[in-house]
Structure 1
């Protein structure tokens, strides 16, 4: 690859050029107040004078199990900052816990992004260490830091240890769904179920399957925002402590180099991120978050970029749910993200600059793979194409997504009658009815679950298998919605249908009994209904009632974009106005 097209750091800053110097440097009354208040907290001027002030944006909370170690890990980041001659300040931010936040964390990704941007803008800081990892925290933190565009580095929470039950390894989410279906089918006991419950989450850290958390941290590294190899280190490994300290040391140098996110996050960097996501067997959520992240950086990444990568980059990460047996702990010790990137280097732009100050090619130089079954070669993939496929047709003119590597392959080309539900409770009640009139050839449909309709596009897209079909021995069927699904989920689930039904997208016109057809190889999806009949149904369509009348929910539904656009707020687009405006210091 060429090595002369990547952006280069500017000349090193001087102490007088630091952003924080505007707060602390002048010999005036306002700076007197800033200095005296720092001294009020017990800091001597020698501790901050002439040094980069580094914000540590920490998403720890008592209701964020994935980030439980951040309460102490932040001290390791501070240690690194102090070692490098910086001055650390911790700024807590919204934790957005995937396990607990309702109706969905997707409602609050953009709130975290706005909070991060404004925390960095409003405080006297020169650079930022972003501490996240649970699904929405990675894109939320990076969206805000990118818009603010001061030097920033991301510290992933890391995946938790493998789960265990009756001598078997358990994977977050994936085995929850599997054993829940077995319980509903009468194949395991309540006692077994409680054993799974107690054994599936053994340590702090994010899901140890290739869910959205590990997908997004890998994307962050591939896009250049994480130190080499950092995205796959298990949370409980001592190497994670060293990563935190090293990130603290590195951010100080990044400030002096003025190495900002928008110098790193070029279009080729995001193309690298897409290639890595496809090779890892990524979460379907990758599409939404990566489009939003790229567009915040001024890069016009869209569904077509994912489709191109899907056709040429195979899945080589043998990690559940796309893979057969392994978990993130196995992936890391087999060579991790550096090993995987080395094996797809022909699909990467190796000249892209990263937070290390080196190119991606330099970061993966010397990478090795120690288990060829965990990280396959491109000649022996888990799946011959990329993790995700983008489908389009009269049901989804702006696109939808399916995860072919993690489904029963007989549904790759399928036609069947739709069974349509307008809300989750009625769907859930129906699938538990053992007398439900349904076969494995039906297409189970949920609508009004998109960005506005959900509200917030909840992870309802892996619609539960009807109990009747489970007892008949079926474990997959074609399911269709404008919702998302967890990256730990699996099955023949068509997701992110755009435009969503709540705003009158074609999915709103589908009726029970209509034939739905998909052809993944042809990248097509359609309902077998004439244009004339669809026009008649549209004329009769009545919009659903509003979801919110006040507050953040009202802002969300008024300004959220569709899944195909990244679900960012329209007023946060770069073309809406200048992304950065420095505060007046008075």
Structure 2
């Protein structure tokens, strides 16, 4: 059984430093709060619970979170707490430029400082869109107040002419079909109307659904949270119950540092392999582990996920969407199957106060084509493959469940693009010297290079290759790709080109060897030639002149350690700042 023991209650709450006395300063803090119509007895010593809301109409995935916040409030009031909602920076994936990833660390800083500087005893973290979930988790982990995640949930299935339309996945497929001449622009525009037919985040196993699953697998959300559709009434129930639960967590002093242990991260890595989760989870969990002092590495991802079969039959790896995943039983079924197979740290603690195994041991699988038995897995060895070699000394990643089997061992001629603009200028040129045996190489799209490490790694193929009926080629970059994307795509190559990594000196015509089974990524030139090229290399990316972009460029770490800022590593705690009044 888990070792968690609730703390005795009552005890002095953190919020009493603001509200719990008769001094001038206490009256100052309380009186201003009362201009919102709050009765005096709400400040009688009950827990003050923050509702950290990433709601924004500029973040469509999270545009319904205002309603969920009201449901959370009901639960907090019922359990005897005082709910206070506050906004934080919302990193919208679909519109924010140059990349939402550039602002994940900014949002995490916003969350951390809001928690530390305000009269809060605990927090409910409302998130949904890709970067909002890791951002709120990272900020909450650094402040280490009792915290629980409530996800916004996925959209309903998209349908177009009798076929499922998966968020992102269908977009990549249809855009390639346009270039191949297999789909008209009129049909593409008609399909657009079917892609996003309800509130919520991506309905594929993209990054949003993956990170909701990671929050649950880590124990930071109530069991069943990840897959409930945004418009299902049970999503509101989940918000309500989480509001109740956070008050009890404050009473018990159950904090992120109690839950986010190495065992929890091991569980999450294995769950990611089983669901065919996004490669973005690698970066986010590495960053989160750094906030709580867990020594998690790329090698852990490879070791722990290598023998995990992908059993969730969802796009982009499979056939179905998040609605069917929820109806089949959702993530608790997957976690139970891992536990039955000896691939789960059963005693890992969750926000429920109980163990992970206690939360899932009695669930059932209601559709074994959506959540498949191991003997019918989509991919016998899922997880994330971590590649190393002279082209990626600090590692690169590939998602086997989304790759083409015959390309997993391949040797090809490099066709090089110096940056994303160079790629856009050349890829549709019929004169481009490329065929399906080549390897597309994209540089200067890592954390510093883009800046922010945009999701451009799943480069579209040249039209003249697509017209042959070819739909995949090996692609290598220091960029990320959307969790909704697919293909034999090598990502996060570290060190990145903008930092002088070997990727920076790859030339057109160089031969590159990819061996996923052997975990090898090799540039086929001599060691002396590689050293000579690196010695002659000059940065192609200029340092931004000012502002957050300059801070990001100067202090961001590599993808291999989570692309967090170097000064944000570690838990700084929730000590009460000095009162200025």
The TM-score range, normalised by the shorter chain, is: over 0.9
Distance 1:189 1:217, change over 3 A: same
Q: Is the 8 A contact 1:455 1:547 kept in 2?
A: no
Q: Is the 8 A contact 1:19 1:126 kept in 2?
A: yes
Q: Is the 8 A contact 2:312 2:370 kept in 1?
A: yes
Larger mean CA deviation between 381-390 and 111-120 belongs to 381-390
Instruction: State whether structure 2 residue 337 is matched by structure 1 residue 336.
Output: no
Out of 414, 426, 446, the position equivalent to 1:418 is: 414
Q: Is the 8 A contact 1:428 1:464 kept in 2?
A: no
Q: Is the 8 A contact 1:344 1:378 kept in 2?
A: no
Instruction: State whether structure 2 residue 483 is matched by structure 1 residue 487.
Output: yes
Deviation at 1:62, TM superposition (A): 1.5
2:521 is paired with a residue whose SS is strand
Equivalent in the alignment of 1:249: 244
Deviation at 1:319, TM superposition (A): 0.6
1:461-487 C-alpha deviation (Å, 9 max, x unpaired): 001111110112110000000000000
Deviation at 1:545, TM superposition (A): 3.8
Deviation at 1:433, TM superposition (A): 1.3
CA distance in 1, matches of 2:151, 2:70: 15
1:495 is paired with a residue whose SS is strand
Deviation at 1:141, TM superposition (A): 0.1
CA distance in 2, matches of 1:381, 1:150: 39
Equivalent in the alignment of 2:433: 437
Equivalent in the alignment of 1:134: 129
Instruction: State whether structure 2 residue 351 is matched by structure 1 residue 350.
Output: no
CA distance in 1, matches of 2:256, 2:563: 21
1:253-296 C-alpha deviation (Å, 9 max, x unpaired): 11001000000111001100001011000101011001111121
Equivalent in the alignment of 2:380: 384
Equivalent in the alignment of 1:144: 139
Instruction: State whether structure 2 residue 552 is matched by structure 1 residue 584.
Output: no
CA distance in 2, matches of 1:463, 1:216: 23
1:480 is paired with a residue whose SS is strand
Equivalent in the alignment of 1:37: 32
Equivalent in the alignment of 1:503: 499
Q: Is the 8 A contact 1:478 1:494 kept in 2?
A: yes
CA distance in 2, matches of 1:271, 1:408: 27
CA RMSD in angstroms, aligned pairs only: 1.1
Equivalent in the alignment of 1:551: 547
Equivalent in the alignment of 1:88: 83
CA distance in 1, matches of 2:573, 2:479: 30
Deviation at 1:379, TM superposition (A): 2.2
Q: Is the 8 A contact 1:9 1:258 kept in 2?
A: no
1:344 is paired with a residue whose SS is helix
1:327-346 C-alpha deviation (Å, 9 max, x unpaired): 11101101100111111112
Matches within 5 A, 1:195-210: 195-210=190-205
Deviation at 1:50, TM superposition (A): 1.4
Q: Is the 8 A contact 1:56 1:131 kept in 2?
A: yes
Q: Is the 8 A contact 1:158 1:233 kept in 2?
A: yes
Q: How many residues align?
A: 578
1:539-578 C-alpha deviation (Å, 9 max, x unpaired): 211112424111111111111010000011000112xx84
CA distance in 2, matches of 1:179, 1:12: 58
Instruction: State whether structure 2 residue 169 is matched by structure 1 residue 184.
Output: no
Instruction: State whether structure 2 residue 101 is matched by structure 1 residue 99.
Output: no
Out of 470, 475, 490, the position equivalent to 1:474 is: 470
CA distance in 2, matches of 1:7, 1:560: 36
Deviation at 1:580, TM superposition (A): 4.5
Deviation at 1:579, TM superposition (A): 4.6
Q: Is the 8 A contact 1:444 1:480 kept in 2?
A: yes
Equivalent in the alignment of 1:409: 405
1:410-436 C-alpha deviation (Å, 9 max, x unpaired): 110000010111111221121111232
Matches within 5 A, 1:105-124: 105-124=100-119
Equivalent in the alignment of 1:26: 21
CA distance in 2, matches of 1:295, 1:35: 37
Instruction: State whether structure 2 residue 72 is matched by structure 1 residue 77.
Output: yes
1:35-68 C-alpha deviation (Å, 9 max, x unpaired): 1112222212112311100000001112111112
Deviation at 1:375, TM superposition (A): 0.4
1:269 is paired with a residue whose SS is helix
CA distance in 1, matches of 2:26, 2:305: 54
Equivalent in the alignment of 1:516: 512
TM-score (norm 1): 0.97
Instruction: State whether structure 2 residue 65 is matched by structure 1 residue 62.
Output: no
Q: After TM superposition, which residue ranges in structure 1, 4 or more long, deviate above 6 angstroms?
A: none
1:227-268 C-alpha deviation (Å, 9 max, x unpaired): 011111111111001001000010011100100000011100
1:82-118 C-alpha deviation (Å, 9 max, x unpaired): 1111100011111111001010011110011000000
2:306 is paired with a residue whose SS is helix
CA distance in 2, matches of 1:339, 1:125: 35
Q: Is the 8 A contact 2:146 2:256 kept in 1?
A: yes
CA distance in 2, matches of 1:86, 1:581: 21
Q: Is the 8 A contact 2:394 2:560 kept in 1?
A: yes
Task: Name structure 1 gaps, 5 residues minimum.
Answer: none
Q: Is the 8 A contact 1:283 1:488 kept in 2?
A: yes
1:301 is paired with a residue whose SS is coil
Equivalent in the alignment of 1:365: 361
CA distance in 1, matches of 2:356, 2:307: 20
CA distance in 1, matches of 2:9, 2:266: 31
Equivalent in the alignment of 1:296: 291
2:416 is paired with a residue whose SS is strand
Q: Is the 8 A contact 2:306 2:384 kept in 1?
A: no
Larger mean CA deviation between 430-439 and 137-146 belongs to 430-439
Q: Is the 8 A contact 2:306 2:383 kept in 1?
A: no
CA distance in 1, matches of 2:480, 2:296: 20
